[in-house]
Structures are given as C-alpha cells and as structure tokens.
Chain A
Amino acid sequence: MAAEPVNCRKAAQLLSQARERALREDERKALDHHLGLCLQCRNFKSQLEFLQEAAKLFASGGP
C-alpha cells in the first residue's frame, strides 16, 4: 500500500496509538517519513516516552 503523507496532527495521533496497537505498514511508513522531516513531532515522540517512564516511576513513589 502506498503511504499517504501525514501531517503533525495525524502523526501525533499515530504516535499515541502505536502505544495501544500495532500500526499498519502504510501507517508506519508514513509516520517514519514524517518524523524524518519534522523535529517537533520527534520531540513529541520523546515526550511520550518520557511520560511513560514518569508514570511508571510514579507508581513506586519516584526513583
């Protein structure tokens, strides 16, 4: 399937959903392509990873 280009709005949604489900190949390709071009969405991706780590630590009361 040809990857349809995605914008930041869609990329952010896919990044979030990737934590809940396996993305389709076309989605993953389009997302990777967008991330290669967009620093802001790469920042968002790092922030999601940070949130996940922080939430896990929160459960044990911090580091």
Chain B
Amino acid sequence: MSNYVTDPRFAEIESHRPYLVRYALAQLRDRELAEEAVQEALVAALEGVGRFDGRSALRTWLTSILRYKVIDLQRRAIADRARLEVTDFAAETGDEAWMDDLFDDTGHWRDAPQSWSNPEAALEQRRFWAAFEQCLDRLPVAGGRVFFKREVMGEETRSICDSEGITESNCWVILHRARLSLRACLEKTWFGGEARGDGR
C-alpha cells in the first residue's frame, strides 16, 4: 500500500470514501460488505488512476468502479440473502401516526417550511455538503437508503420497491417521510435564521 499512499491523488480519492460507502450501503445493506466493496474499489482506482482522463467528475469515475465491486459482492453474498432481506421498514411505514408530529389536528404544518434564501449558492459551499450528509445520516436506515437510490442514484421507484421487497405505496411513504425529514433538518442546520449571517 505504501506506494499508493505517496501518490498525490491518494488524498483526493480518499476524500470520496464516505460518499462511496453510502452508495455501497444503499445496495448491500451491510456495513462490512459495503466497506469491503469500497476498499476494493479504491485500490482498483489507485492502480488505474492513469486511465482517469478527467472528463467526468472524479466521484463519477470512482462510482463506476464501485458499481462493479458491489455487483460482485452481491453475488458472493447471495447465500446470506435471507438474512439481508430482514427489512427494517416496519417501523417506518405502518400507519400515518408519524405525521402527527409534523402536522396539527387541522392538517397545518407545526413547523412551517420557510422561504430559503439563495439555496443555489449553498450548493457551491463545502460546508453545505457536510450539513447535507449529516442530515442524510439522521434519516431512518431504510428511508436513507431508499432516498439515496431514488434521488441520488436516480433509480425508478418501481425497481427500488422490487429490490427492497415492498409495495409501491410503502415506497412513497418512506420517500415522503425522508424528504420531510431532510427539509426540516436542512432548514434547522443550514437555512434557519440561526445559521444565517455567520460568515459562511
């Protein structure tokens, strides 16, 4: 490994590790396997970094390598499938009682969405992305995974439901809940009055 560590691109490639683990976790649902896939992908990336031509984003290139490692590990993990398919959805769907925390008896927002000032500018700030990742981490496990597949990877809802083994309407509930939770989290940690004007 020592020759990798001295490669000037090592730190840059390494900085994408948290994203890649999240990507792998969305599909493998098993932290150990996900980290194994990422480790293999990063080693392959460092070996092949000469082939990276810079036409796509580094993260996109790394993700394309990881995708193959994930498929590989999925095949190897197939024997464990029964264990992996024990879903964590029960607590996240069920009835609509969770919405009572967000809406009052008359159906009004308890914590009304504010108008966010200059959201486009946030996208260009490194600190915003740290806040975004923290908010993703606060989502319930299944919600985080489904949101990641749907909005980050751009998978079709139907294919997500199939691979998760849940109904389409359960998928909608999970996504809705994840979106509500993310928007509340970002409003609090980034777009809220307290976070504004602190020199970011």
Given A8-B107, A9-B103, A56-B151, A40 and B112 touching (CB < 8 A)? yes
Known: A17-B176, A60-B57, A61-B19. Contact between A54 and B123, CB under 8 A?
yes
Residues of A within 8 A of B123 (CB): 53-54, 57, 62-63
Is the CB–CB distance between B107 and A59 below 8 Å?
Answer: no
- Answer yes or no: B89 CB below 8 A from chain A CBs: no
Return A48 CB to nearest CB of chain B, in Å.
Answer: 6
Q: Identify whether the interface residues of A are mostly helix, strand, loop, or mixed.
A: helix
16 of the cross-chain contacts (CB-CB < 8 Å) are A7-B107, A9-B99, A10-B107, A16-B172, A20-B171, A43-B113, A43-B114, A47-B183, A47-B187, A48-B179, A50-B119, A51-B186, A56-B151, A59-B63, A61-B19, A61-B57
Q: If the complex has contacts A44-B183, A56-B154, are A8 and B109 also in contact, measured as CB distance less than 8 A?
A: yes
Judging by beta carbons under 8 Å apart, are A17 and B153 in contact? no
Known contacts A54-B132, A59-B152, A62-B123: A9-B19 contact under CB 8 Å: no
Q: Contact between A47 and B116 (Cβ–Cβ < 8 Å)?
A: yes
Chain B residue numbers with a CB within 8 Å of A17 are: 172, 176
Query: How far does the alpha carbon of A56 sit from the alpha carbon of B112 in the complex, in Å?
Result: 25
- B148: chain A residues at CB < 8 Å are 55
Chain B residues with a Cβ closer than 8 Å to the other chain, count = 44
Known: A9-B107, A19-B175, A59-B154. 6 other contacts (CB 8 A): A16-B175, A47-B186, A51-B151, A51-B183, A55-B147, A58-B152
Contacts of B46 on A, CB cut-off 8 Å? Answer: none
The listed residue (B102, B115, B124, B151) touching A55 by CB distance below 8 A is: B151
Task: Give the docked Cα–Cα distance between A40 and B103 (Å).
Answer: 12
Min distance, Cβ A22 to any Cβ of chain B, angstroms: 12
- Would A50 and B116 be within 8 Å (CB), given that A20-B172, A56-B154, A58-B152 are in contact? yes
- B100 and chain A: residue at smallest CB distance: A9
Looking across the interface, which residue of chain A has its beta carbon closest to that of B136? A58
Q: Is B106 positioned at the interface, with any CB of A under 8 Å from its CB?
A: yes
B102-137 interface mask toward A, CB cutoff 8 Å, 1 = contact, 0 = none?
110011110011111001000110100100100000
Cβ of B179: which chain A residues have Cβ within 8 Å of it?
16, 48, 51
B116 lies within 8 A of A46 (CB): yes
